[in-house]
Chain A
Amino acid sequence: MTSKLMKGLVYASAAFTFGMLGYLVIYILINGVRFLTPSLFSWQYSTSNVSMMPALMTTLMVVAGTLLIATPIGVFTGFYLVDYADRKNPVVRAIGMATDTLAGIPSIIYGLFGMLFFVIFLEFQFSLIAGILTVTIMSLPVIIRATEEALIATGMPIRQASYALGAGKLRTLFKVVLPVAMPGILSGVILATGRIVGETAALMFTLGTATNLPGSLFASGRTLSLHMYILSQEGRHVNEAYATAVVLLIFVLVINALSTLVSKRLAGGGK
Chain B
Amino acid sequence: MKKHIKLLSIVGLAATTLAACADTGSEGASNGSDGGSNGGDFDNSTNLHLVTREVGSGTRDAFAELTGLDDGDNDLIAPEATAQQGTNAVNSTVADDLYAIGYTSVGALDDSLKAIQIDGVDANEENILDGDYEIARNFNVIIGEDLDDVAADFWEFMFSAEGQAIVDEVGYIPSDTDAPAYEGSDLDLSGSIDVNGSTSVYPVVEAMAEAYQEIHSDVQIAVHSTGSGAGVTSAIEGTSDIGMASRDLDDDETSQVTEVRAVALDGIAVVVHPDNPLESLSMDQVADIFRGDFSTWADILD
**CB-CB contacts of A9-50 with B at 8 A, as 1s and 0s?**
001101110111011001100110000000000000011000
B14 A233 Cβ-Cβ under 8 A: no
- Chain A residues with Cβ below 8 Å from B170 are 47
Q: Which of B65-73, B222-230, B270-278 contacts A (4 or more CB under 8 A)?
A: B222-230
Chain A: interface residue total (CB-CB under 8 A): 34
Out of B13, B84, B88, B210, name the residue touching A236 (CB < 8 Å): B88
Question: In this complex, which of A11, A15, A18, A30 has the most chain B Cβ atoms within 10 angstroms of its Cβ?
Answer: A15
B74 an interface residue at 8 Å Cβ cutoff? no
A208 an interface residue at 8 Å Cβ cutoff? yes
A238 B224 Cβ-Cβ under 8 A: no
Given A18-B14, A30-B29, A238-B92, do A233 and B222 touch, yes or no (CB 8 Å)?
no
**How far apart are the CA atoms of A235 and B222 in the complex, in Å?**
17
**How far apart are the CA atoms of A191 and B26 in the complex, in Å?**
33
A210 B222 Cβ-Cβ under 8 A: yes
- Chain B residues with Cβ below 8 Å from A233 are 84-86, 88-89
**How far apart are the CA atoms of A235 and B105 in the complex, in Å?**
12
**How far apart are the CA atoms of A238 and B18 in the complex, in Å?**
24
A235 B88 Cβ-Cβ under 8 A: yes
Number of A-B pairs, beta carbon distance below 8 Å:
90
Out of A208, A215, A237, name the residue touching B224 (CB < 8 Å): A208
Out of B18, B222, B226, name the residue touching A19 (CB < 8 Å): B18
Given A27-B22, A210-B224, A211-B206, do A234 and B17 touch, yes or no (CB 8 Å)?
no
A47 B207 Cβ-Cβ under 8 A: yes
- Chain A residues with Cβ below 8 Å from B83 are none
B18 A22 Cβ-Cβ under 8 A: yes
A47 B22 Cβ-Cβ under 8 A: no
User: Closest CB of chain B to A62's CB: distance in Å?
Assistant: 17
Out of A19, A27, A234, name the residue touching B14 (CB < 8 Å): A19
B203 an interface residue at 8 Å Cβ cutoff? yes
User: Closest CB of chain B to A271's CB: distance in Å?
Assistant: 31
A57 an interface residue at 8 Å Cβ cutoff? no
Question: In this complex, which of A12, A16, A212 has the most chain B Cβ atoms within 10 angstroms of its Cβ?
Answer: A212
Q: Is the interface of B mostly helix, strand, loop or mixed?
A: helix
A11 B9 Cβ-Cβ under 8 A: yes
A26 B206 Cβ-Cβ under 8 A: no
Residues of B19-59 at the interface with A, using a CB-CB cut-off of 8 Å, are 21-22, 25-26, 29
B280 an interface residue at 8 Å Cβ cutoff? no
Residues of B171-226 at the interface with A, using a CB-CB cut-off of 8 Å, are 199, 202-203, 206-207, 210, 220, 222-226
B225 A232 Cβ-Cβ under 8 A: no
A125 an interface residue at 8 Å Cβ cutoff? yes
User: Closest CB of chain B to A5's CB: distance in Å?
Assistant: 16
Given A19-B14, A47-B170, A233-B88, do A219 and B222 touch, yes or no (CB 8 Å)?
yes
Given A27-B25, A211-B206, do A230 and B18 touch, yes or no (CB 8 Å)?
no
- Chain A residues with Cβ below 8 Å from B207 are 47
**How far apart are the CA atoms of A21 and B220 in the complex, in Å?**
42
- Chain A residues with Cβ below 8 Å from B152 are none
A23 B222 Cβ-Cβ under 8 A: no
- Chain A residues with Cβ below 8 Å from B26 are 30
B10 an interface residue at 8 Å Cβ cutoff? yes
**CB-CB contacts of A195-216 with B at 8 A, as 1s and 0s?**
0000000000000111110010
A11 B10 Cβ-Cβ under 8 A: yes
Give the B-binding residues of A (Cβ under 8 A): 11-12, 14-16, 18-20, 22-23, 26-27, 30-31, 46-47, 125-126, 208-212, 215, 219-220, 230, 232-238
Give the A-binding residues of B (Cβ under 8 A): 9-10, 13-14, 17-18, 21-22, 25-26, 29, 84-89, 91-92, 108, 110, 170, 199, 202-203, 206-207, 210, 220, 222-226, 239
Sorted nearest first, the 5 A-B pairs with minimum C-beta distance are A19-B17, A233-B86, A23-B21, A234-B86, A210-B222
